[in-house]
């Protein structure tokens, strides 16, 4: 019988239990090698003889080890053999879980609810791109620090979408917690990232109202309501909930997965994009989360499973799909139940310290380009630079003039030197994905001059080889505003080689002769009216340079 004072793994001295569920107990412990306080998760002895549960417990460490984000629990250590059974060690700081926070407050302020949900969605985006579906998103599994950082925990029933299932998840098997169960999950059908989006929508509803949307006497009855009943409007419980948040709840919790947000990152963006004219308070994302989000970027709307033999990330058959194709499934008559009893509220908050790395090497996306173009594997390893080998920045035909043709881009980054250093970095790849229907966009501002906060924002186009750019190819949405093309970086001594204004569609801007440069900055100095209504915002659907390489 495990007790306070016991030492696990030869180094972790247990202090006190801080949470318990059907499969494991989490202990506050001290790492005697370093003196740091950690969280040790120990599997209950009574379930260690169940091979499926044992494999599921061990797999949690494998899943979490793939992920590195301020909004995902950080793995420190694990052990398969110990006198007390297998254990997992996480970094720990004091705090409370979201369920307890909601109970204490009754309901959360809309801005706080939006911030927490947006942070969790950012962590989920990384998990989904890594081929991982959490499958048990609920307020019990979200931990909130005093500084407002939300951390997602308990990947014990997460599903890997790379084929490495080890028989642990099968069609017709229902895993999850009924109060947050997506309809396809309740029916025992295949799941993907949109399943987590649904559950996060339930969590957002709970934050805003202090209630769950589908109360019933039994888990089975709750799950049936998830399948059959329309999602209620949180404003029927709390009339002061902003309309835009009520709309996000409704979209996230659509019964049809195809009608939900196409990605967790889309939901994250929507939560902090307060409409112009709204009286809603602006949600605040903690700086450490915002910094990680800048590194994350939006590589592709699809999760790309890794080929275990080659390590190459292969594109899914349908580039519009959100995740790898879900295996076909036949509706089952089996009644849905919760996978594990809901544990007591856990006053554990894990790791908001500096991260070991940003994107793991296995996390990558594939740009799906237009007809006749090539696809290149994109990998980010820090910053918001995205390498794009083998992709030219303009049309294959190039422009007129001897020796003038598309210039090869090495990377594209967002530029905001006068602000917080980032301008929608997650959407940067949409400016060169070969699809006019997708766009990198600026943040939304109250006035054309960026609210007087800065001189401009833009995109830095880094060339594979220093070259003389002769033309800018631009496809944009909206009309008006003004931009410059700078040979180099913006600043007091910037060398402006071209100017123009936004047009709704494609245009070419001729550039002045200048010495060769390795970097050209598309610099927006005056914003056009937002085409989606309210405020001012620029949209860049496609961008590239033509010119003369050395």
The DSSP letter of residue 382 is S
Q: Which residues contact 414 (CB under 8 A, 6 or more apart)?
A: 384, 422, 423, 424, 425, 428, 440, 457, 458, 459, 460
**Which residues lie across from 412 on neighbouring strands?**
461
* Spatial CA neighbour of 483 closest among 498, 468, 471, 495: 498
The answer to whether 445 and 536 have CB atoms below 8 angstroms apart is yes
Using DSSP's 3-state secondary structure scheme, residue 240 falls into coil
- Name residue, tokens 């944009």: 476
* Integer Cα distance of 435 and 492 in angstroms: 35
* Integer Cα distance of 162 and 66 in angstroms: 13
**Token pair in block for residue 436:** 């006019």
How far, in Å, are 260, 336, 537 from residue 256 at the CA level? 7, 18, 32
**Token pair in block for residue 373:** 């173009």
* Spatial CA neighbour of 522 closest among 548, 549, 550, 496: 496
Using DSSP's 3-state secondary structure scheme, residue 231 falls into coil
Rg (the chain; Cα; Å): 25
- Three-class secondary structure assignment of 48-81: CCCHHHHHHHHHHHHHHHCCCCCCECCEEEEECC
* Integer Cα distance of 159 and 390 in angstroms: 34
Alpha helices in 273-384 (DSSP H): 287-296
**Which residues lie across from 180 on neighbouring strands?**
none
**Which residues lie across from 27 on neighbouring strands?**
17, 40
The answer to whether 202 and 253 have CB atoms below 8 angstroms apart is yes
Q: Known catalytic residue: 179?
A: no
The answer to whether 51 and 42 have CB atoms below 8 angstroms apart is no
Neighbours of 317 (CB within 10 A): 9
Neighbours of 223 (CB within 10 A): 27
**Residue 217 burial (C-beta neighbours within 10 Å; 0-12, 13-18, 19+):** exposed
**Token pair in block for residue 2:** 């495990």
**Token pair in block for residue 241:** 């909930």
Q: Which of 68, 136, 154, 293 is catalytic?
A: 136
Active site residues per annotation: 136
């Amino acid at each position: 019988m495990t007790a306070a004072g016991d030492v696990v793994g030869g180094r972790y001295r247990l202090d006190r239990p801080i949470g318990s569920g059907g499969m494991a107990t989490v202990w506050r412990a001290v790492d005697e090698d370093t003196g740091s306080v950690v969280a040790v998760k120990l599997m209950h002895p009574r379930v260690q003889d169940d091979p499926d549960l044992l494999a599921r417990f061990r797999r949690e460490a494998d899943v979490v080890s793939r992920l590195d984000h301020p909004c995902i629990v950080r793995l420190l250590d694990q052990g398969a053999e110990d006198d007390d059974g297998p254990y997992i060690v996480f970094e720990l700081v004091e705090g409370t879980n979201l369920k307890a926070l909601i109970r204490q407050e009754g309901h959360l302020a809309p801005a706080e609810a939006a911030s927490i949900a947006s942070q969790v969605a950012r962590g989920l985006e990384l998990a989904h791109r890594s081929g991982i579906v959490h499958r048990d998103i609920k307020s019990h599994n979200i931990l909130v620090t005093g500084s407002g950082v939300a951390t997602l925990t308990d990947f014990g029933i997460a599903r890997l979408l790379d084929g490495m299932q080890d028989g642990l998840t099968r069609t017709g098997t229902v895993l999850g917690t009924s109060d947050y169960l997506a309809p396809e999950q309740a029916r025992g059908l295949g799941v993907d990232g949109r399943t987590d989006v649904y559950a996060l929508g339930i969590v957002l509803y709970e934050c805003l109202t202090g209630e769950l949307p589908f109360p019933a006497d039994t888990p089975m009855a709750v799950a049936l309501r998830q399948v059959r009943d329309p999602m209620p409007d949180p404003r029927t419980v709390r009339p002061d909930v902003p309309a835009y948040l009520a709309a996000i709840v409704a979209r996230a919790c659509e019964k049809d997965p195809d009608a939900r947000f196409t990605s967790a990152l889309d939901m994250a963006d929507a939560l902090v994009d307060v409409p112009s004219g709204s009286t809603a308070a602006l949600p605040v994302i903690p700086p450490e989360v915002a910094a990680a989000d800048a590194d994350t970027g939006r590589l592709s709307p699809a999760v790309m499973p890794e080929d275990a033999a080659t390590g190459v990330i292969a594109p899914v058959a349908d580039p519009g799909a959100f995740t790898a194709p879900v295996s076909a499934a036949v509706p089952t008559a089996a009644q849905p139940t919760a996978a594990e009893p809901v544990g007591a509220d856990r006053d554990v908050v894990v790791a908001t310290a500096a991260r070991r790395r940003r994107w793991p090497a296995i996390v990558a996306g594939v740009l799906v380009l237009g007809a006749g173009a090539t696809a290149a594997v994109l990998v980010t390893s820090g910053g918001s630079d995205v390498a794009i080998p083998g992709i030219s920045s303009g049309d294959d035909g190039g422009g007129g003039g001897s020796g003038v043709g598309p210039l090869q881009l090495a990377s594209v980054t967002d530029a905001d030197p006068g602000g917080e250093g980032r301008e929608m970095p997650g959407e940067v790849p949409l400016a060169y994905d070969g699809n006019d229907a997708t766009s990198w966009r600026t943040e939304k501002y109250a006035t054309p001059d960026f609210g007087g906060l800065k001189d401009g924002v833009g995109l830095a186009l880094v060339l594979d080889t220093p070259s003389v750019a002769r033309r800018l190819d631009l496809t944009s949405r909206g009309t008006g505003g003004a931009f410059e093309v700078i040979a180099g970086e913006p600043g007091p001594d910037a060398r402006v080689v071209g100017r123009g204004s936004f047009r709704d569609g494609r245009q070419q801007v001729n550039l002045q002769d200048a010495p060769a440069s390795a970097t050209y900055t598309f610099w927006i100095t005056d914003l056009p009216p937002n085409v989606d209504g309210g405020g001012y915002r620029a949209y860049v659907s496609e961008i590239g340079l033509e010119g003369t390489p050395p």
